[in-house]
Structure 1
Amino acid sequence: MTRYDSRFIGRSVAAFAVLASISGVAGSAQATTAGTDGAAVCHLPEEGPLSTEDLPTGSSVLDCGAIGRIVTYDGTGVTVPEPGTTVSVDTLATDGDTHGFALEVATDGKVSYVLTDAGADSSTAGTDVPDHLTNPTHTAADLSEEADSVDADAPDAVAEGDAELAEVDALAAPGACSDGSYSTADRKEYGTYQWYIGDGGMPGALSRTDAKWAFWDAIDNITGSYNNCGYADQVGAKHNYLGTTSREADINSSSQCTSRDGVSTWDAGNLKSGTVATTCSWTFPMPGVKNDLLEADVRYNTTDYDFTNKPTSTCSNKYDIRSVGTHEAGHVFGLGHVGSGHQNLTMYTNSFTCTTKARTLGKGDVLALRSIY
């Protein structure tokens, strides 16, 4: 039997491991390693968006210099916030799939993700936590600016005798009042959601005044648990309209959340094709209970899709403003998506054109709100 020097074997194995490590890092801009304390270490590309592999769970936004960089996942993206903040993106997509995720930055700068639409915290107890960010980062001027009225679609005119469409149920799914399915996010408005109407054109070519009432009604559908199922309003969620602003939703044309400006804004403009509307939410992490909502912005995609405030029998390929708004307001107040087989619920992943049915909550929508509030 041939005898080998154990010291030679040890040196050879060590050399092979070093070469393999060097090869792995050189071959990928997304390589990550483990630090001396076992924490993930990032290797960020100098430019462009990051992936969740570039900035992995356990890495530090402070050590990596990642604050202000965009992280993308499944066709959506968020801008990395400062420590002590969670940012979430939810998109209403035409393909009927769930698109969205959350990125949390702990107070020590460590990163974690929620890559599904499921609720994270089972407990909803807690008290209001004030916004601790006394100097929020303002969105760069070139990220979400939209020219006034450029993307407003044609105004709606209801012909004489042309009645507005009544609620229409999807035949293949359980009725809205018999479907108790729901999901929730790790998010809750402990106080009052204070919101503004932003700059630029409004969906359906509405005036800002008319848009105010359409958005107000949509948000009221959530805070008031509006339904035709006989459920009383037991939800303590509240909102308050504060007026118009020259600010815009902190959402860019790629349907990505930019840096928050401290103002919750509803507006319309350019989003990624295939996205009807997007909601971006920023919360204060609260382990063991729902995160406290700091800001939530909503944008309608008026570049690629038409909207109407009065769907009628002559409506063609237009989304109902208040149906879409009710769905987005659901995200603001912590509701997640429900998927295939639940088409009659407001929080279904898609929105149907020329119907008002999503303005009215179903059983699952109401149960979801009650589970939070």
Structure 2
Amino acid sequence: MRPVPSRNDRGRRARWQKEGDDRFMERFLASGLALAFALLAVAAFARTPAAQTGPEVLEACEPGRQEIDARDLPRSVDPARCPVEGRVVEDGPVGSVVPPPGKGVYAEVLTTGGAEELGVRRLENGTIELEHVGGESGGARDAGAGSFALATKSLGECGDPAFDGSGWRVEDTHVYRINWRTTPRDVSRRAAISAIRQAGGNVADTVNGCGLGDRVPAGVAYKGYTARQAGVGGGACATDDGLSVVSFGSLSNPGNLAATCVHTRTGASGYDVVTSSDAKINKTDYHWTTEPNDRRCSRRWDIEGVMTHERGHTFGLGHVAEADHPSLTMGPTINGACQASERSLGRGDVLGLDKKYP
């Protein structure tokens, strides 16, 4: 330690004080820098995988996988455990791009032997909710108390009250367009347009042979031609573009007759609201007709009947069990080629719409 100058030597004493102040400042700055480097080191360590304490990403959702298998996920998925933006969730032959928060999508492929479906819904907080995974299907419900119906094959279309209601509905009017340039060559464009339009009316107007009136206030409106394709890639639903389109084309599985995507947003009435609904009819693997009862018809599927079933989904109807309710339009199996039974709604189909649209 340097000796302290006497009070009489003011010049030396001032220099001594200044040197002391400089040494103090140097030590202060050195300590501050050391503390700053220590804090940076702690922050860097906290960002390393080993130091993370957040939820672990699910194996099915690991980065690098564009498709996520819904069968490997819980029915409610924490978004922190499954980064989903821009990715597709699949369940066998059916799938969908994951919608943004507050939106949902119902994807269905109708086959000659039944149907496959998948529901993907995002809550406002980003949570993903999955429905109809792994062959799950909505049970047929009775219009009276919501319990499982005991309807059997013997009841027929006018005696079977079973239905299954989905969690969405059309508000006001469902507006759509048709890409009629995709119509198969063996079906006239005019006839195809008429069949698709009538299918929408069959549901919106609850066309039936049971004497049940139309009490559904929602409507359907055809707004002409569009060059766009239905937003159905193979069996997967694309991102909602707000435009509803019906077109003919190819589907990924040759067993698929048609595919439908119903896009929704969260509604205030207890039901989600349909924002768009696309349908694609498979013209690559099947032949189609608008005259299924013609005696010359052979192995041709009815455009109007198939689209009536698909429009049932658009308006919020789910599937009923085919084995117990074969006479209802919303059974998951079309009753075969060259027949038109799906054009006319059964009692349960009408009651399901009546309950959804009071």
Q: Same fold (TM over 0.5)?
A: yes
Counterpart code for 1:70: V
**What corresponds to 2:248 in structure 1?**
268
Instruction: Give 1:277 shift.
Output: 0.9
Q: 1:322 aligns with which of 281, 304, 309?
A: 304
**What corresponds to 1:278 in structure 2?**
259
> Structure 2 vs 1, CA of residues 354 and 107 (structure 1 numbering), >3 Å: closer, same or farther?
same
**What corresponds to 1:305 in structure 2?**
286
**What corresponds to 1:337 in structure 2?**
319
**What corresponds to 2:202 in structure 1?**
221
> Relative CO higher for 1 or 2, CA cutoff 8 Å, sep ≥ 6?
1
> Structure 2 vs 1, CA of residues 228 and 199 (structure 1 numbering), >3 Å: closer, same or farther?
closer
Q: Name stretches of at least 5 consecutive residues in structure 1 with no aligned partner.
A: 1-34, 123-170
**What corresponds to 2:333 in structure 1?**
350
> Structure 2 vs 1, CA of residues 184 and 111 (structure 1 numbering), >3 Å: closer, same or farther?
same
Q: Indicate whether 1:118 and 2:138 are aligned.
A: yes
CA distances 1:8-46 after superposition (whole Å, capped 9, x unpaired):
xxxxxxxxxxxxxxxxxxxxxxxxxxx968x78434241
Report the secondary structure of 2:121's partner residue.
strand
- TM-score for the superposition, normalised by structure 1: 0.71
CA contact (8 A) 1:204 1:309 kept: no
Instruction: Give 1:112 shift.
Output: 0.9
Q: 2:233 aligns with which of 227, 231, 252?
A: 252
Q: 2:88 aligns with which of 52, 58, 70?
A: 70
Cα distance in 1 for partners of 2:56, 2:186 equals 49
CA contact (8 A) 1:40 1:59 kept: no
Count, aligned residues = 288
> Structure 2 vs 1, CA of residues 57 and 287 (structure 1 numbering), >3 Å: closer, same or farther?
farther
Counterpart code for 1:285: T
Say which structure is richer in helix.
Answer: 2
Report the secondary structure of 2:155's partner residue.
coil
Cα distance in 1 for partners of 2:204, 2:85 equals 34
Counterpart code for 1:42: L
CA contact (8 A) 2:192 2:290 kept: no
Instruction: Give 1:172 shift.
Output: 5.9
Cα distance in 2 for partners of 1:173, 1:252 equals 39
Counterpart code for 1:107: E
Report the secondary structure of 1:324's partner residue.
helix
Counterpart code for 1:111: I
CA contact (8 A) 1:42 1:56 kept: no
Counterpart code for 2:326: Q
Instruction: Give 1:74 shift.
Output: 3.9
CA contact (8 A) 2:169 2:271 kept: yes
Report the secondary structure of 2:113's partner residue.
coil
Report the secondary structure of 1:228's partner residue.
coil
Cα distance in 2 for partners of 1:201, 1:336 equals 28
Cα distance in 1 for partners of 2:330, 2:123 equals 29
Q: Name stretches of at least 5 consecutive residues in structure 2 with no aligned partner.
A: 1-51, 143-151
> Structure 2 vs 1, CA of residues 199 and 227 (structure 1 numbering), >3 Å: closer, same or farther?
closer
Cα distance in 2 for partners of 1:191, 1:258 equals 24
CA contact (8 A) 1:88 1:102 kept: yes
CA distances 1:199-235 after superposition (whole Å, capped 9, x unpaired):
6422574444432221110100001110111111111
CA contact (8 A) 2:76 2:130 kept: no
CA contact (8 A) 2:157 2:347 kept: yes
CA RMSD of aligned residues (A): 2.7
**What corresponds to 1:166 in structure 2?**
none
Counterpart code for 1:222: V
Cα distance in 1 for partners of 2:56, 2:276 equals 30
Report the secondary structure of 1:315's partner residue.
coil
CA distances 1:84-106 after superposition (whole Å, capped 9, x unpaired):
1111112212123x410201111
CA contact (8 A) 1:93 1:274 kept: yes
Instruction: Give 1:64 shift.
Output: 4.0
Divergent runs of 4+, >6 A: none
From the CA coordinates, give the structure whose radius of gyration is larger: 2
